Structure 1
Amino acid sequence: MAYSYPGTPVKVGSDLTTTEIHHLMKTPSLLRKRLATILDHKFIADYLLAGRFTAEGGAILYETGEEIFPADSPEAIAPGGEYPKTVMTTGELASAKTRKTGLASDVTDEAISRLLINPVDRGLRKIANGMIRDIDGTALGVIASKVAQTFAATAQWTSGEAIVDTVLSAKAKAEEDHIEESFDYSVVALKPTQFAKVAASLIKSDLVPRESGNFVLSGVIPDYLGLTWVTSQHVPFSDPILVDRDQLGGMADEKITSPGYVGYDGLEVKSIRKDERDMYTVQARRITVPVVLEPNAGIRITGTGV
């Protein structure tokens, strides 16, 4: 009796043959894995605006400034008694329209034959990074325009102690000012140059273990006193911003059905074969809009000197 065995699975590593590369380009699931392998950045917008909303029909209606506590207080209830009812409070109604952002690039058969996976990787990387730059810039700009709350640094950020004192003071004051909302300000977003200065100051002050120095490469300082520090080269504001990422808002994505697209980390990518031109067109898109639900869930820290 003869047995047949399945062929060797197509790889997504760096040592692919031209045949494997062409198969990858025609297989959405493999293209998605390839994108995951080479992607340099992720959306900081998705991190700071942690909510996930669905926009129907190209727009989303949402409420801002809604209190988390009811209008009435609980009451004592006798055995068999009726529970008192409270009127649900609502915030101010607002709307936002989604925007479809996209970018495409061509990869020729000649480029694949001569350079193997390199032109595919470069195309995917540039398209993805361009999309991230655009959407992060838009979302962070919306955050900056909505967050009006400020806190003056207790001292310029020339030492780890000054940095921690300012951030914890800003956190404590804002949480007291907005006790009804129960904000938990725990994430600081900075420009890369500011992040570098903060990282160096925290290390020199022995506030972060020196063996955790790899956070300078990862872009995230390990949690210290419940704080997480993040950075992006697309941050448009000059002052560090302290936020409650769970209540600040979210990204509202619109889902449209199109054959051939696969999603990864917020992006949808697709490879289109053009036999008449001996090439592929690789394109990426995202249909989304940033939504800030609670402007007071962010604080702009001024006078840091970084």
Structure 2
Amino acid sequence: MPVNPPVPPSLSGDLLSIHRLLASPTQIQRRLRTIADLRFISDQILTQRFRSSGGAVLYEVSEPIFNTRSPQAVGPGSEYPKDVTANGAAALASVSKWGQATRITDEAIKRNARPGDEVDRTLRKVINTIIRHVDSITMSAVASAVTQTQAAGDDWIASTATILRDIELAKAKIAELQMGYRPDSIVMSSTKYAYMASDERIATLRRREATDNPVYGGSIERIGGLVVVEAPLSSLPSDDVWILDSTQLGGMADEADVDPGYTVAEMAVQIQTMRLANKDAWEMWGRRITVPVIQEPGAAIKITGTNP
């Protein structure tokens, strides 16, 4: 009578679970989803999506929304006057692979009371570094392409600051281009946001005794119909304020195909891990293969003179 082989020993515990997590792209992807506070500024202000081909993306800049000829009166039985649809200037952008690797040792994992926290911290640092770099490149591209400016009535630190008027005048300047742009976002540094949120004139216009007031721990998520995007100064080309139409300004051209072994979450950062058995460690690296595309420079404007 045959004897069944013994059941293999089973292991359990935090340490084994963490090693299984590091070896599984699916588990890494689930871990990435829990890091909800990591977001690219780039994807908030450049909402269009482009597909690259051969490592580059072809797009048009400042495509007109009107034809060159005006409509004419058409008599009975007559042909309609024809016009040629105008195109924007062709442009080409090359996709770059931005990435970084780091290492997490077995000792760092097992000597932590909560081993999963060490993995989260390592993931967070890698992703944060990639986000900061890609965002700085995106904002530099925006600053280079956008030439419209609106001077502030006074610096936003002064008691005579007219922050809401500055915002509305900048919106009006974009609208007067008659290109179909509808500003929906405002980008500023954390320091500039602090001055705006504590401005007394804006405070008098907000609903009183409402729990979403900054004084009660809330935040200003919208002002003048614009979504407030608060950015670290290190990601901005200057400490100015930017107003834009996120649906028209441009987009990010990502290589969507994921190579074997990588996992990717909604933030578009691809992550892969590898066991270094002879070093008792795991190597973890992340990347984003992308390039910012500024398609409609007229859809954005920079408010200058907000600094003292």
TM-score past 0.5 threshold:
yes
Unaligned runs of 5+ in 2: 1-12
**What displacement does 1:39 show?**
5.3
2:154·2:161 contact (CA, 8 Å) conserved in 1? no
Look at both structures and tell me which one has the larger radius of gyration over its CA atoms. 2
**Mean Cα displacement is larger for which, 287-296 or 193-202?**
193-202
Work out the CA distance in 2 between the residues paired with 1:66 and 1:296: 10
**SS of match in other structure, 1:259:** coil
RMSD after superposition: 2.8
Q: Which moved more, 1:56-65 or 1:198-207?
A: 198-207
Over residues 114-145 of structure 1, what are the superposed CA-to-partner deviations in whole Å (9 max), with x where a residue is unaligned? 11123211210110000011100111111111
* 1:74/1:159 CA distance change after superposition, 3 Å: farther
1:6 corresponds in structure 2 to: none
| Unmatched segments (≥5 aa) in structure 1 | 1-15
- Structure-2 separation of matches of 1:33 and 1:125: 14
Q: 2:58 aligns with which of 57, 61, 64?
A: 61
Task: Give the alignment's TM-score, normalised by structure 1.
Answer: 0.84
C-alpha displacement at 1:273, in angstroms? 2.0
Match of 1:226 in 2: 225
* Paired residues of 1:248 and 1:293 also in contact (CA < 8 A): yes
Report the alpha carbon displacement of residue 54 of structure 1 after superposing the two structures with TM.
1.0
Deviation for aligned residue 1:100: 0.3
Q: How many residues align?
A: 288
**Change over 3 Å in CA distance of 1:215–1:242 after alignment to 2:** farther
Aligned position for 1:131: 130
Deviation at 1:76, TM superposition (A): 7.9
Does residue 299 of structure 2 align to residue 300 of structure 1? no
SS in structure 2 opposite 1:172? helix
Aligned to 2:272: 270
1:165 aligns with 2:162: no
Q: Does 1:201 align with 2:193?
A: no
Does residue 113 (structure 1) correspond to residue 98 (structure 2)? The answer is: no
In 2, the alpha carbon distance for the partners of 1:44 and 1:216 equals 26
| Residues 1:27 and 1:74: Cα distance change in structure 2 (over 3 Å) | farther
User: Is the CA contact 2:239–2:307 (under 8 Å) kept in the aligned structure 1?
Assistant: no
In structure 2, relative to structure 1, the CA distance for the partners of 1:81 and 1:272 (3 Å cut) is farther
Q: CA deviation at 1:215?
A: 10
**Alpha-carbon shift at residue 105 of structure 1 (Å):** 1.1
Cα–Cα, structure 1 residues 90 and 204, in superposed 2: closer, same or farther, change >3 Å?
closer
* Deviation of 1:70 (Å): 3.3
1:250–1:79 CA distance, 2 compared to 1 (3 A): same
Q: Deviation at 1:161?
A: 7.8
Displacement of 1:257 after TM fit?
Answer: 3.9
Q: Secondary structure at the match of 1:164?
A: helix
Q: Which one-letter code corresponds to 2:121 in the other structure?
A: R
| Cross-structure match for 1:255 | 256
For 2:89, the equivalent position in structure 1 comes to: 92
TM-aligned CA distance change 1:112 to 1:87, over 3 Å: same
1:231-262, CA deviations, whole angstroms, 9 ceiling, x for partnerless residues? 11122222211111111111111234411111
